[in-house]
Structures are given as C-alpha cells and as structure tokens.
Structure 1
Amino acid sequence: MVIKVFVATSSGSTAIKKKQQEVVGFLEANKIDFQQMDIAGDEDNRKWMRENVPGEKKPQNGIPLPPQIFNEERYCGDFESFFSAKEENIIYSFLGLAPPPGTKETEKSDATDETEAHTEDKADEGAHEESQSAQPPSEDQQESQEEQAATGEEEEKQEEGEEKEEVEEQEES
C-alpha cells in the first residue's frame, strides 16, 4: 500500500507550505513510504484529489486544499486530522498501516488488548470491579511521579536547611 500526499509545489500560501512540509517531513523521518502528488503542475492529480475527498471533509467553497492524504484509493484525511492522529500517537492507524514493533502505537494497542482480556477474565469470574487500578502507570506517568518526588525531596531539604539556619541564628542571639 502506498501513501499518497497531495501537495501544491508552487503554492503562494506559506501556511499551506508549512503544513505540507510538516506532513512530508514526518513521513520521511519515520521512514513511511509515500508519494508526493503535485496538484499544481498536474491537472489529473488535482481532479483526482478533488473528486476523492469525501463531501463532509470538503470546505464550504467545495475545493479541498493540500495537503490531502490517501492510502491508495482510501481517503485518510487532511492536515488537521493528520496532526490530531500524530498528537494521539495513532498515526499508523490513521494511515491504514500496521504500526512497526516498538512504537508507542504498538504499545498502546498491546496495552488495550491486555486490558480487554483482563476485563473479560474478571467478568467471567463474576467480579464487577473496575480494572483501572490493576493497570501499571505509563512511562510518562512514572516519569512525572519521579520528577514530583525528586522536586518534593529537594524542597524538603531546602526547608530543613532554612530551619537549621533560623535555629542557629536564634541560638547566636
């Protein structure tokens, strides 16, 4: 399957250029195979893109602007939906591709599968408790907790040091 990114190589809009660069740069950086389809220099590409963007995704004027992303013939989305998928770490499912092993998206789907299996087991046993507490914290949550703990320890040490200084000053007076 080939990802097709419809772009306008001679766009006068810097906003469109930036969006196109972000999509193309992300795909290149993640070694995702894609083809750039120029709609500025190729009338067939422009027609194909305009005809294949679903009606609900077209702007009010009816002419979709680049970048538009397709997986072969299947419409994936525009820049906004690409950006949302990227932020949510679901870019591979957005593109209709299987995530490579070791990516956050793979870990996310594995964790979802484990949670669903765990929930089904509990339901089979007749337990109706929520299984959220059984899930280990994510890496981000662990890092955040560790940072908070470290910051808290530093603040405690600083407060202890200030208290010692106050006691010493009082003893001297």
Structure 2
Amino acid sequence: MVITIYYASITATSTLESRQSSIINCLASLKIHYELIDLSTGQGLLDEMRQKVGDPKAMAPQIFNGDQYCGDFEAFDKAVEEKKIKEFLKLETCQNQSQKD
C-alpha cells in the first residue's frame, strides 16, 4: 500500500504549511514512501478527499494508506509523540497481512 497525503500547495496560513511540511519531513526521515495529491490542482479533489474522510468540512492535510483513512494532522502528531507512527499509518497491519498470505 502507498501512503497518500491530500495537501494544498497554495496555503492561506503558515500553520497549514508547517503541518504539511512536518508530515512530509517525518515520512521522508523514516524512509516511508508516500504520494502527494495537491488539492489545488483539481476542482473535485477536495470533494473526493472529504468523501473518503467522511466529513464534509475536512481540511488538508489528510492521510491515507491505500483506501484506509489514517487521520488528520492532529492524529498524526499524536502518533509521532507516542512513537506509534507505523500503527497510525496502518503499516503494521499491512505487513502482518502480507506475512499471512
């Protein structure tokens, strides 16, 4: 599975930019492959992301592992603090399933 981050390359606040950078830098430092989907590049991408999240008001960044929703920045940040980033990203589950197959 690929970690997917819905983000906005055009940000209105420095907080949003900082949060997105924090996620990207953390994943890069852990050598976790990820894909970025820029909400600024397509009209329907925001609606797509909100539908997947299940919240019509959800804002970037939002993180997925394949089709599985992992969470938003606050959940990501908490997982980092608790040293549970692999669990948050559902990487442990994917590895266990691969070993069973």
> Would the TM-score normalized by the shorter structure come out above 0.5?
yes
Runs (4 or more) in structure 1 with deviation over 2 Å come to none
Name 1:15's counterpart in structure 2: 15
Counterparts of 1:74-153 in structure 2, within 5 Å, are 74-98=68-92
Question: 2:57 aligns to what SS in structure 1?
Answer: coil
The total of aligned residue pairs comes to 93
Q: TM (normalized to structure 1)?
A: 0.51
Structure with the bigger RCO (C-alpha within 8 Å, sep 6+) is 2
Give the TM-score normalised by structure 2: 0.85
Note the C-alpha offset of 1:13.
1.2
Secondary structure (helix, strand or coil) at the match of 1:11 reads coil
The gaps in structure 2 that reach 5 residues or longer are: 94-101
Q: Secondary structure at the match of 1:69?
A: strand
- Does 2:64 match 1:70? yes
Going by fraction, where is strand more abundant, 1 or 2? 2
Identity, in percent, stands at 33
Aligned letter for 2:26?
A: F
Structure 1: any 5+ residue segments left out of the alignment?
A: 56-61, 100-173
Contact (CA 8 Å) 1:52, 1:75: kept in 2 or not? yes
Larger Cα-atom Rg: 1
Structure 1 counterpart SS, 2:41:
coil
Matched, 1:50 2:44: no
d(CA) in 1 for partners of 2:31 and 2:16?
23
Tell me the secondary structure at the aligned position of residue 70 of structure 2. strand
Q: State the Cα distance separating 1:80 from its structure 2 match.
A: 0.3
- Structure with more helix by fraction: 1
Q: Deviations over 1:91-143 (max 9, x none)?
A: 001101039xxxxxxxxxxxxxxxxxxxxxxxxxxxxxxxxxxxxxxxxxxxx
CA distance in 1, matches of 2:14, 2:38: 16
Post-superposition offset of 1:43: 2.3
Q: Secondary structure at the match of 1:12?
A: coil
